[in-house]
A and B are shown apart, each in its own frame.
Chain A
């Protein structure tokens, strides 16, 4: 698979940390090109590229931008979601640490398209180093007239600020993020209104993931048709970063056309760790349902994953080998969601705790066969009954693991409990 990297082409070229080095490698040409275009034409180009959000939900980016009201007298904001807290995900960190100007360029072009004069990059609090790299790159961009009153000598004014979070997964959810940005607890808001109309500080706001924004300069520079020509079909386009972890020989971030199959990705990673067999994989972070070895030839794109009952999510691919204790995996995911539930909705707050408790009991050898149905029933009560997608996310892994690896749960139960139930 000879795929020439797009988003990661500057990795291994530390000179791009400065404006000058980035320019030497072709940077900021897309910005110049965009500033010569009408903002509406930039939005059209992004629409035509088929770009869908890389943060998890896969919403079409150009369409999201077009929801920003044009006649509103209020300021507009771009907010970059750099919270990257979905377990298994580490691609945005790479983009920020290795090529900060690519993100800055994407922010300015996207802001030009929607007439935003301020970008906030909301970065998780633990990414101290990445925040520092960004701050330095932003300062350099101001010094070189790329940010500030007159972006590249144009009449467009733009400021970018890095805003550090403080350790809460829920702040990755877009409205939880906005609350957090405004200095509050990161508890998601009721939608509608959507952020495009009432977002940061009550103003129209576009929220996009880091990787989504870094696609933008390339779309402008090379054209929508080029971007749309990469990938599975018209609904799944462009280069994609897959963050691979777990039992593979060479874990890491792999940039490939969206829609490579799991097997192709696994091959790119040098295969399974220590030559072991594959048991299962998670295609899109802790929020995605688990798939099994039988699903190895599925395309890792939005629609194929959805059809298979899972999701591409953040494309954090966790690979689990034949020795993996699936009950333990289910328990660890449940513990994560119980810890991260923001507590606003009773089904999510209570239900995630119950899932953790029941799974812990089974893991400890004190489970009963009826616990398996109990997991299902608790999961059903969370799903669809909570304000944000965390509730649904908590349900996916637990239910799929129980469904697909039921025998592993039974194997942990005391013989007496099994006999009593049969």
Chain B
């Protein structure tokens, strides 16, 4: 394996080496460095408690030799990238039409009640945050929500309470 000239450059200090190694690997899949931006941001966010603080965004920009303003432009465009802290567990409730027809309002209300927070707020213990979301492609098992990376389907308020209780 050839030596990557970026190794040990100061911007890399902010994320674990494995993340940069992984980004270096992924770059080979594309003819341009820029195309690795979305994968790089996903990896960076996963390694930064689920959100992208400015110094992390800027480190990714340096790594891929992109103007930071371009990278900010991308981060703000996509719903899955966050620029402020999120709960340790991120809950996304689909409230689009098929889920609305089968009771997504009740799911949102249950979360509000159980967690005592509004949408997009983090619980005081840092454990959870929830938001309503557009269709998540699980409309046949509505209502549904996504907790971190897992789909929970055919929900009832009772089931939501149980899921919350079981979350570490």
B146 to chain A minimum Cβ distance, whole angstroms, is: 7
In the assembled complex, the Cα of A181 lies from the Cα of B37 at a distance in Å of 9
Q: Cβ of A201: which chain B residues have Cβ within 8 Å of it?
A: 30-32, 35
A144 to chain B minimum Cβ distance, whole angstroms, is: 20
B137 close to A186 (CB less than 8 A): no
Q: Cβ of A185: which chain B residues have Cβ within 8 Å of it?
A: 73-74, 77
A337 to chain B minimum Cβ distance, whole angstroms, is: 10
Interface flags for A89-133 (1: CB within 8 Å of B; 0: not) read 110110000000000000000000000000000001111110000
Which of A's residues lie within 8 Å of B, judged by CB? 75, 84-90, 92-93, 124-129, 159, 161, 163-169, 180-186, 201, 243-247, 251-253, 282, 286, 316, 318, 320, 324, 328-329, 332-333, 336, 339-340
Pairs across A and B, CB under 8 Å, 5 listed? A89-B137, A126-B146, A251-B139, A318-B98, A336-B135
In the assembled complex, the Cα of A339 lies from the Cα of B34 at a distance in Å of 26
B104 to chain A minimum Cβ distance, whole angstroms, is: 10
A196 to chain B minimum Cβ distance, whole angstroms, is: 18
B79 touches which one: A168, A252, A333 (CB < 8 A)? A168
A183 touches which one: B38, B100, B102, B136 (CB < 8 A)? B38
Q: B54 on the interface (CB 8 Å rule)?
A: no
What is the chain A residue whose CB lies nearest that of B71? Answer: A183
Q: B41 on the interface (CB 8 Å rule)?
A: yes
B35 close to A316 (CB less than 8 A): no
A125 touches which one: B66, B78, B150 (CB < 8 A)? B78
Q: B141 on the interface (CB 8 Å rule)?
A: yes
In the assembled complex, the Cα of A243 lies from the Cα of B142 at a distance in Å of 13
B136 touches which one: A126, A164, A182, A339 (CB < 8 A)? A126
Q: A182-B32, A201-B32, A340-B134 are in contact. Are A316 and B78 (CB under 8 A)?
A: no
A86 touches which one: B37, B92, B135 (CB < 8 A)? B135
Q: Cβ of A93: which chain B residues have Cβ within 8 Å of it?
A: 137-138
B154 to chain A minimum Cβ distance, whole angstroms, is: 10
Given A87-B135, A246-B98, A336-B135, 7 further pairs, Cβ under 8 A: A85-B134, A87-B97, A90-B137, A127-B137, A183-B32, A185-B77, A328-B100
B77 touches which one: A126, A168, A328 (CB < 8 A)? A168
A166 touches which one: B38, B101, B146 (CB < 8 A)? B38
